[in-house]
Amino acid sequence: MTAKKSKASVAVTVLWCGLLVGTLDILAAFANAYLSFDKGPIFVLKYIATSLFGVSAFNGGTEMVVCGLLIHYAIAYFFTALFIVLYPRLGGASQNNILIGVLYGIGIWLLMNLIVVPLTKTPAGHIHAKQVIINCLILIVMIGVPLSIFTSNFYSAKKR
């Protein structure tokens, strides 16, 4: 496989995997917000938009909803690309997709909640153990494990 084709196939893989895990993650976030807080998708997307616009995002209209969705997918694509690039460096650990997915999901939660979110304009909230567990499970099941499986399949097919 030529370098050009290889880069193109990685880009296509990132595109599709990012779309998949970003969609799974946001749908799970919508369900969690509704079941846990009786909040709908509009609230969730405006909450995401607070990262750039602060609490004024809640007073915005469609533009804040769209902005929240774009921010969400930008983050999903970033973590997807990072995973796909790092995956070949995992060595023997990459043989256990479930373990890698679990660790990646927890890693995303730690990075986002302990480093990234505090650097944004998102209002500070309290960390509750129940929501930490739910959010980690969402990241594990909706991003970590599917991404690990698809990336493993991608690199396996590339070797053939």
pLDDT in tens, 49-108: 999 999 999 999 999 999 999 999 999 999 999 999 999 888 766 678 999 999 999 999
Share of the chain above pLDDT 70, in %: 94
pTM for this one? 0.89
Report the C-alpha gap between 70 and 4 in whole angstroms. 28
Look up residue 45 and give its two tokens. Answer: 């997307």
* Length of the chain as a residue count: 160
